[in-house]
A and B are shown apart, each in its own frame.
Chain A
Amino acid sequence: MSETFVPLPSLPPPSGSVGAGAWLRARLFNGPVNSLLTLAILWLLASTLIPLLDWGLIRGHFVGRDPQACRDGGACWLFVGVRLKFFVYGFYPEAELWRVNVVLFAAVASIGTIAAPGVPGKRWIIPGAVVGMPILTFVFMHGGMFGMPEVATDQWSGLTLTLVLSIVGIVAALPIGIVLALGRRSKMMVIRLLCTVFIEVWRGVPLISVLFMASVMLPLFLPEGLQFSKVLRAMIGIVLFESAYMAEVVRGGLQAIPRGQSEAAAALGLGYWRTMGLVVMPQALKLVIPGIVNTFIALFKDTTLVLIIGLFDVLATIHATIVSAEWPNIATEGYLFAAAVFWVFCFSMSRYSQALERKLNTGHKRN
């Protein structure tokens, strides 16, 4: 009778290689240099984070409305509550705020519908939103029709203005950028030259100087009486500037598509527009999603530059609060709050772009 082989139960791993102690040894304290570095970094974190948390959270003031309550050295966050309405709506007349809310709600709803997976009929929703949203925004925000009193564009301010400027910039810059990118690769010399000159000129000047030209120089050259609003001038400046950047991002994608793709499309009998629209562009745009979103995020943050031409975007409303006499010195808190607001929006854009990349992944992606 042969005995069946019964292996001995495996021994537990050596006590030195499991548990918290081993993890620490392997990852943080393996060798004298790494141990020193770990200690130094721990010390740095402790000496900066602890006072920061103590100042910002433990000794911070969150409840109440009285600026004088925070004279004891802790962070003063009360201004956020007191001025939130001003940060979001700025100078928009109080009785008409519902109109801004309608627009914001419509924007969130349409972005949500487009972003959510599995919603039917997207090929109609997307163009509908792209065309409809600007019209809806203008009708509701500006008014002067359908019984809504007119609210001139110079009363658009706060976060509302930041969002209007950046969403219009994003929606308009992408199609213009695509057209410019195609134009720059065109075989027709005049078109190629025009597009190249446009791109190089707008990309070669700083956005600040574009905004200054729009706000200071342009009115000098217009005949008196012919004035269009500063918001509109800034908006056009931003769109032209960003579409030049967008064109180069898209062109980067076009360069990456092998010639064979358009030759194959031509062999199937597709003309130029259908080749581009059905074969080349979908592949190119998918490749450059990170670049496009990068440009969008930069655009969103660039809109704060309108502060220097006297438009009241969200940063300007926060700045007005910082310098106002009734608050103690809240410069640090104010700019931290502004940073948090921008981070929330930019991070959401970044997450959405990553989700989009995963969804459209057709095997190009390298991990």
Chain B
Amino acid sequence: MKASHLVVGFGALATVAMAAAPASAATLDTVKSRGQLVCGVNNSLPGFSAPDEKGQWSGLDVDYCKAMAAAIFGDASKVKYVPLTAKERLTALQTGEIDVLARNTTWTMSRDASLGLNFVGVNYYDGQGFMVKSALGVKSGKELNGASVCVQSGTTTELNLADFFRANKMTYQSVVFDTSDQTLQGFESDRCDVLTSDQSQLYGLRSKLPDPSKAVVLGDVISKEPLGPVVRQGDEQWFDIARWTLFAMLNLEEAGVTSKNLAEMMKTTNPDIKRLLGTDGEFGKQLGITNDFGVQIVKAVGNYGESFERNVGQGSPLKIARGLNGLWTNGGLMYGPPIR
């Protein structure tokens, strides 16, 4: 008797908890009435989201949060940043603690399909790569036979590394460390010839070497890590706002609209740009935000290319080349569907 009562009790409790979780009807209304967008970010990943000495956040992911706030409020400062660890990030989104997660999260099928989440798109195509000492004269990952490789333990990085060497019938010796600072320490003190990690991190680590020109990041990419913002499932309007914020940033770059030439572009007669900047059509209204959301985004953070160069590209210590993250017109993968 007692036991069954308990079971029923727990069952009821669980049902209440389950029922309560996805019942977020109109995220846009909640955000508007709160007057702030709550955005989950990484606690410190250089180039993507990191606080500076004044406690101000900056980075590629942070710029996405700002762009969304600009699209909704016309004010990029109306964001509350919630630093999250890798373990709690998805829970924080599921429970409604945050409205959108922009925390270098890899888009995988299981996350998309089973967790009640929707990936908005990809704002950075990452992948695992190699950094080697320039003195070795290695040009490609295929020349690394017999190398000793510094790697962080217990990550998929370690598994991808093993797969890559096995597939190419090469041998290697792994030198395993606990954190990424330590792998760098090992690389610096010649414990290994090669350091492997996600490419975006390799550039960050390289910039910390006493002489960054003594190491090169190889072009080989041995895994797919498409990173993108995430929202809760079940609110299509919010999903669309999140998605078109990203697409607007890409389309702005493709159309050549930058934060510097915005004033001239406002006078253009090009119909594509007019629709993008809201001087023609009612595209923002369809999402429940203002028609000039493109203008607000470009005023706040610039187009995708500007944000990229400022945070991770040539304007930053990371100096990452566009590569896969270039526009489709330049041989990259970034492609914004047309606004019409």
Contacts and interface: CB of A to CB of B under 8 A. Distances in A.
Interface of A: 71-73, 82-83, 85-86, 89-92, 94, 152, 154, 157, 212, 215-216, 219-225, 227, 308-310, 312, 316-317, 319-320, 322-329, 331
Nearest to A334: B181
Contact of A320 (B51, B84, B85): B51
B23 A325 contact: no
Given A312-B43, A312-B83, A323-B45, A329 B208 contact: yes
Nearest to A312: B83
B95 A220 contact: yes
Contacts of A71: 210-211
B330 interface: no
Contacts of A328: 208-210
A83 B43 contact: no
Given A71-B211, A320-B43, A329-B184, A227 B96 contact: yes
B207 interface: yes
A325 B88 contact: no
Nearest to A229: B97
17 contacts: A72-B210, A73-B210, A85-B54, A94-B54, A154-B82, A222-B20, A227-B95, A309-B88, A312-B43, A317-B51, A320-B50, A325-B50, A325-B204, A327-B208, A328-B208, A328-B210, A329-B208
Contacts of B290: none
B94 interface: yes
Contacts of B249: none
Interface in B192-251: 204, 207-211
Contact of A215 (B54, B88, B94, B181): B88
Nearest to B46: A325
Nearest to B57: A91
B316 interface: yes
A72 B43 CA distance: 29
Contacts of B43: 310, 312, 316, 320
Nearest to B207: A325
Given A316-B43, A331-B185, A223 B84 contact: no
B24 interface: yes
A90 B210 CA distance: 28
Contacts of A212: 87
Nearest to B50: A324
Interface in B24-81: 24, 43-47, 50-55, 80
Given A73-B210, A310-B83, A325-B47, A92 B55 contact: yes
B318 interface: yes
A97 to B, nearest CB: 11
A15 to B, nearest CB: 52
B88 A329 contact: no
B17 interface: yes
B336 interface: no
Contacts of B24: 224
Nearest to A85: B53
Given A83-B53, A328-B209, 4 more contacts: A219-B91, A322-B181, A325-B316, A329-B209
Interface of B: 13, 16-17, 20-21, 23-24, 43-47, 50-55, 80, 82-85, 87-88, 91-92, 94-97, 180-181, 184-185, 188, 204, 207-211, 316-318
B36 to A, nearest CB: 10
Contacts of B45: 323
A31 B249 CA distance: 79
Nearest to A319: B44
Contacts of B316: 325
Contacts of B317: 325-326
Nearest to A219: B95
A323 B188 CA distance: 16
Nearest to B205: A329
A154 B97 CA distance: 12
- Taking each of A90, A212, A323, which has the highest tally of chain B beta carbons within 10 Å of its own beta carbon? A323
B21 A220 contact: yes
Contact of A220 (B17, B85, B181): B17
Contact of B16 (A92, A223, A225): A223
The 5 closest A-B pairs by CB, nearest first: A325-B46, A320-B44, A325-B317, A219-B95, A91-B55
Contacts of B80: 152, 154
- Taking each of B43, B45, B80, which has the highest tally of chain A beta carbons within 10 Å of its own beta carbon? B43
A194 B23 CA distance: 37
A4 B87 CA distance: 94
A321 to B, nearest CB: 8
B181 A86 contact: no
Nearest to A91: B55
A226 B145 CA distance: 56
Contacts of B211: 71
A223 B20 contact: yes
Contacts of B181: 322-323, 329, 331
Nearest to A68: B317
B17 A82 contact: no
A331 to B, nearest CB: 4
Contacts of B54: 85-86, 94
Contacts of A322: 181
A310 B53 contact: no
A310 B13 CA distance: 28
A154 B83 CA distance: 9
A222 B88 CA distance: 16
Given A324-B44, A329-B185, A224 B53 contact: no
Contacts of A320: 43-44, 50-51
A310 B85 contact: yes
Nearest to B18: A220
B141 to A, nearest CB: 25
